[in-house]
Amino acid sequence: MELSIRRYQPHDAAIVWELHNLGLHMMGAHLGNGARDADVLAVEQHYLATGGEFLVGELARQVVVIGGLLPTGVGEAEVKRMRVHPDYWRHGLGEQMLLALEQRGRELGLKRLHLDTSVPQLPAQKLYVKHGYQEIGRGLIGTLEIIYYEKRLE
């Protein structure tokens, strides 16, 4: 099966919300839904209308991976909401999504991407380091230890 990556459409809202929550639950990183999830509930407003991007990846017309670029300043954005359905973990879909987001970032003229992930999310950490993201700090969100990364786009 070949992954097809495309821009988010309004009819994707329910599956994006589902994958967002499922991914966090499966990794033990879900802190409960609240104000910090507002972007997932309003993708068009937070990502698309602000000059960012939100992509979905489909296998056999089923959305199985998501990810976004949320503008955070001139020439920079945060990689957000990278989620892969657990049935498709370890198939390289997260890597394909990350590369698609980086390519879209270059097309948008971005020079720097940054992101965070929690300490329990070891596969995510390995993915980001493999693709040149460098740890720039750590912190806490609720009870979760968070690792912050950045990458310069060329």
Strand partners for 135: 149
Q: Are 73 and 108 in contact (CB under 8 A)?
A: no
Output the domain CATH number for residue 98: 3.40.630.30
What is residue 33's predicted lDDT score, i.e. its pLDDT? 60
What is residue 141's predicted lDDT score, i.e. its pLDDT? 83
Place of tokens 């987001």: 101
Q: Is residue 93 part of a domain?
A: yes
Q: Is residue 61 part of a domain?
A: yes
What is residue 22's predicted lDDT score, i.e. its pLDDT? 79
Query: What percent of the chain stands above pLDDT 70?
Result: 92
**How many domains does the chain fold into?**
1
Q: For 73-116, write each residue's pLDDT tens digit.
A: 999 999 999 999 999 988 999 999 999 999 999 999 999 999 99
Q: Is residue 134 part of a domain?
A: no
